[in-house]
Chain A
Amino acid sequence: MALSSFFSERPSDLIRRSLLDIENLAREDLEWLLSRSQHHQPMQAEAVKKLNTLRGKTIVNLFFESSTRTRASFEIAAKRLDADTISISAQGSSLSKGETLVDTLNTLSAMRPDAIVMRHAASGAPHFLSRFLPTPIVNAGDGRHEHPTQALLDAITILDNKSSLDGLNVAIIGDIAHSRVARSNVHLLSKFGAKLVLCGPATMLSPNMAHLAERIRLTHNIEDAVTGADVIMMLRVQLERQNMLPFPKNEYFQFYGLGIEHLKLAKSDAIVMHPGPINRGRELSSEVADFPRSMILNQVENGVAVRMAVLERACGVS
């Protein structure tokens, strides 16, 4: 490659500290991350929310795609560990001056941060960069590929309500094809023995999804998907990622929106999840969003604990 870098060859522990995706993460890494996240959960409700495990560490949050919750969550997580953080959004960065992604990242790396958190609209952007950078990268969502911290926070939210992931019936409903949340959750839940039903119209649910991991069933019928479910995960309709809208907008809710009546088909203690931002009346009804077993805000709360664990791992404090 024509990319000269003044850094030496990347040590393998940097690769190990990066969090690029769930698919290639070893089970023991996942277990460590989940238990460390759970360790950080109680602190979120404390009066003084501060640890010093990342004192003296610098973390760069680089968001090439707009984000409110993920970005705030990473920033709060870093601050609660006493790291110094800066957040950069694509607007106003050198990318708008025509610099390539590699050059931008190499420039930032030259300032010796301890970790770079990045979100990018292109699938695989962090994987591609990790081949060139001397800094651990935490993937905060790459295109339609993965969103690993979302799957981790979803897992601990489920574990707040269920004793184990093994054998759980999980229905994931919506725009599976374009969802990084779906891919990360499929990999994580499958690794821990959950049974998955993926549901959406054929334009949003490629038959190839059945081969992504083990114990996956596909259906185009939402009643079928929620019947007997322990967990119902709704996905956001990704209008911004479509070249051509894969469904008629006006009838989406009628066939794939989650209404209160669907919950009767699920297990009596089933929980409802959504990665946000929610679209009331498109993916789920208002009653479902505000329903007692809706975990949408718990997911957001757990996000901070998960990202604290992920940043500790990235900075080598573990």
Chain B
Amino acid sequence: MTKLLIKNGHVVDPDSGQDDVLDVLIEDGRIAALDRAIEATDAEVKDASGLIVAPGFIDIHVHLREPGIEHAETIESGARAAAAGGFTSVCCMPNTIPVNDSPTVTSFIVERARRKAIVNVFPIGAVTKGSQGEQLAEIGAMKKAGAVAVSDDGLPVMNSGVMRRAMQYASSFDMTVIDHCEDLNLSLGGDIHEGHQATRLGLGGIPSSAEDVMVARNAILSESTGARCHIAHISTRNSIAIVRQARQLGIPITCEVSPHHFTLVDTDIPGYDSNYKMRPPLRTDQDIEAAIEGLADGVIDAIATDHAPHTGNMKAQEFERCPFGVTGLETSVGLSLERLVVPGTISLMRMVELFTTGPASVIGGLMQGTLRKGAEADITILDLNRAWTFDVSESKSKSKNSPFDRREFKGGPVETIVHGRTVWSAEKGCINLTE
């Protein structure tokens, strides 16, 4: 029986409401006790004085690119980036090659993750076959194989009839439908937010309305079907207002925001730098304000990165030819501390909630995100005083497309523990499974 005792850390556990200096005892990969001054003579002791001890962070929106696009990322490399970012669990989107629209692909990802990933990897299955938006994918069978939710992320379900059927069908299996909200007719030809910067640079604009109309549609469909719907990477103030109103009406709709969307705006894009190109695009100061308000008052349930690795040569093209997406796993916690906690907009407890119980409840059925006795011993340790600089060339991801290269941070993860085992520490880096 292996025992680990984390002593004197400041425990922040939204599930139990604990917010105090406590010890955590781990036995055989599970939480055995959470209390003051635990004595365990046979345990390995880790001193966490001055550090924050939180349940393992969950990112419900990442792209691991395997199978099919392994030159950009693999389950192994993506999991290492996750660990280095303080995440113990990630949910990976199905837009691989082939698309994860069948139990075969789901099983492949689960098996591959079991052998190669240093964090928990939960696959998200496709809503429709090939994410083509027409025929429903094998949602029930994918769930049996290990999928935790469904989404056609990146390829929005444009046909409202298909979306309605998908919500109804997924709800029979207690699966959340996650939607990338973008009316493709409104966003056609767009590269960045439709605003001053698009006008100045002569780039096609993606209007806020492209997102808003789809969020409104999904709220209405969720109301009429009673099915859970989750809005991926919400980016506009109107969309947030729509979700707020829907929630007040009791509609089971949830949403997440990505750190780049509460940190950067369209006018921050330097020249034609494609490391700032993503969908939805960077919006405006008013949209950031609405996102921060939603994070504080509870309308937004989770922070999720939309970690989207692309290789250098894909991003080194004419701006309009470059693919959308930026990496984000390693900068998410640092940005959340800097933008939300340090200015005092939200408490540390609320931030931890946005990385743990929040995302777990969006997915439903996830046992992660708590320090309750008997839970998986997935733990994220933060040092709020650690000064560090993100150097993209040192990133654990195989891709380097981040807009946050050379950014200086104060506060961030220092250790990531999965199933009672340290998989990453700021001091030692990633620790491989075989070691």
**A contact residues vs B (CB 8 Å cutoff):** 1-3, 23, 100-102, 120, 122-125, 127-128, 132, 142-146, 177, 180, 183, 206, 208-209, 211-212, 243-244
Contacts and interface: CB of A to CB of B under 8 A. Distances in A.
A123 B189 CA distance: 12
B200 A120 contact: no
A143 B202 contact: yes
B80 to A, nearest CB: 20
Contacts of B203: 123-124, 143-145
**Most B C-beta atoms less than 10 A away, residue of A124, A144, A211:** A124
B412 to A, nearest CB: 26
Given A2-B311, A2-B316, A122-B318, A183 B202 contact: yes
A122 B320 contact: yes
Contacts of B201: 123-124, 145
B317 A124 contact: no
B269 to A, nearest CB: 10
B68 interface: no
Given A208-B195, A211-B196, A243-B188, A123 B202 contact: yes
Contacts of A3: 312-313, 316
Contact of B318 (A23, A101, A144, A212): A101
Query: What is the size category of the interface that chain B forms with chain A?
Result: 20 to 34
Given A142-B202, A208-B199, A128 B188 contact: no
B217 interface: no
B92 to A, nearest CB: 25
A184 to B, nearest CB: 10
A123 B190 CA distance: 12
12 contacts: A120-B318, A122-B321, A123-B320, A125-B319, A128-B317, A142-B202, A143-B203, A145-B202, A177-B199, A183-B202, A208-B198, A211-B199
B158 to A, nearest CB: 16
Contacts of A211: 196, 199
A122 B312 contact: no
A120 B189 CA distance: 17
Given A3-B312, A144-B202, 19 more contacts: A1-B316, A23-B200, A100-B313, A100-B316, A102-B316, A122-B319, A123-B201, A124-B203, A128-B272, A128-B316, A128-B319, A143-B203, A180-B202, A183-B200, A206-B199, A208-B198, A209-B199, A211-B199, A212-B200
B271 interface: yes
B286 to A, nearest CB: 15
Given A3-B316, A143-B202, A146-B202, A123 B195 contact: no
A100 B271 contact: no
A275 to B, nearest CB: 15
Contacts of B202: 123-124, 142-146, 180, 183
B115 to A, nearest CB: 29
